[in-house]
């Protein structure tokens, strides 16, 4: 039984072409998410009380991603197609949790729960429209530009809240440590999150005005790299903030 299992696993692994960066990033992404989750979960016990929940949320984000990467990796190996459905289920769970991180940080300065709902609402609009755009592109209809634009508007609203709106105001009021935390995480949202629309442009261009951008490469390579930066990197920033303030 176990020998049989080993053979199946080996057979799959040996099929990866060394230049198949998509499969490679799915594998390494899966492993990295697992390792990061173990790290965040174990570190909770030697973290200052004020930061424990933030660290737990960081671990949940990478853990949910690890489980999805496990499936996406298999799906991609079997079909050589984008695992769009698993991808968006993952994001629909993890992006709102990242909004929770912003809320937890600013809560110390009196953030109200409706700020959290605003962030979550905008991220759901961003993701549902992005999903419709990708599914539409795969089915050869021409709405990828329209859905991508609506998604981008929701994205810019999140950037606005964090850089100039309520999140920024509260973080500034909470003192230098929280203001610093907010600005570091704000850079993730402005630069790290911007990798996703690049992947979208590279992957949904057929028949769109940006068709030439398809030469930019595989959509999943963008998404896999962006996920590693934004989920593990974001968590590590929370981790280091929890050290500098305890």
Ligand X SMILES: *C/C=C(C)/C=C/C=C(C)/C=C/C1=C(C)CCCC1(C)C
* Structure tokens belonging to residue 224: 């896999």
Nearer to ligand X, 126 or 178 (CB): 126
| 3-state DSSP assignment of residue 239 | helix
Closest approach, Cβ 107 to ligand X, in A, equals: 21
Considering beta carbons, is residue 102 or 155 the nearer one to ligand X? 155
- Least distance (Å) between residue 130 CB and ligand X: 2
Joined together, the tokens standing for residue 64 give 């949910």
Q: Comparing C-alpha atoms, which of 106, 70, 116, 107 is closest to residue 89?
A: 70
Residue whose token pair is 């940080």: 105
Q: Which residues bind ligand X (CB under 6 A)?
A: 91, 94-95, 98, 126-127, 130, 148, 151-152, 155, 193, 196-197, 200, 227, 230-231
Instruction: Report the residue number whose CB is nearest to ligand X.
Output: 130
CA distances from 21 to 8, 24, 73 (A): 22, 5, 12
Phi/psi of residue 130, nearest 5 degrees? -60, -40
Task: Work out how close the CB of 76 gets to ligand X at its nearest, in angstroms, rounded to a whole number.
Answer: 17
Nearer CB in complex with ligand X: 69/200: 200
Query: Least distance from C-beta 114 to ligand X, angstroms?
Result: 22
Alpha-carbon distance of 172 to 220, in angstroms, equals: 37
Nearer to ligand X, 142 or 245 (CB): 142
């Amino acid at each position: 039984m176990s020998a049989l299992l080993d053979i199946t696993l080996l057979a799959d692994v040996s099929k990866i072409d060394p230049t198949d960066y998509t499969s490679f990033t799915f594998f390494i992404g899966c492993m990295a998410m697992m390792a990061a989750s173990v790290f965040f979960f174990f570190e909770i016990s030697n973290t200052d009380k004020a930061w424990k929940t933030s660290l737990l949320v960081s671990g949940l984000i990478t853990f949910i991603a690890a489980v999805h990467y496990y499936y996406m990796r298999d799906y991609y190996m079997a079909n050589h197609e984008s695992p769009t459905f698993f991808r968006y289920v993952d994001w629909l769970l993890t992006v709102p949790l990242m909004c929770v991180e912003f809320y937890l940080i600013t809560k110390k300065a009196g953030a109200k729960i409706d700020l959290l709902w605003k962030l979550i609402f905008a991220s759901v609009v961003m993701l549902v429209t992005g999903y419709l755009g990708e599914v539409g592109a795969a089915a050869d209809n021409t709405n990828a530009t329209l859905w991508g634009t609506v998604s981008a508007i929701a994205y810019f609203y999140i950037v606005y809240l964090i850089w100039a709106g309520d999140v920024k105001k509260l973080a500034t009021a909470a003192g230098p440590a929280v203001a610093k935390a907010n600005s570091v995480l704000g850079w993730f949202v402005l630069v790290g999150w911007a990798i996703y629309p690049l992947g979208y442009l590279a992957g949904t261009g057929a028949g769109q005005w940006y068709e030439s951008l398809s030469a930019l490469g595989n959509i999943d390579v963008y998404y896999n790299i962006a996920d590693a930066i934004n989920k593990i990197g974001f968590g590590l920033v929370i981790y280091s903030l929890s050290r500098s303030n305890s």
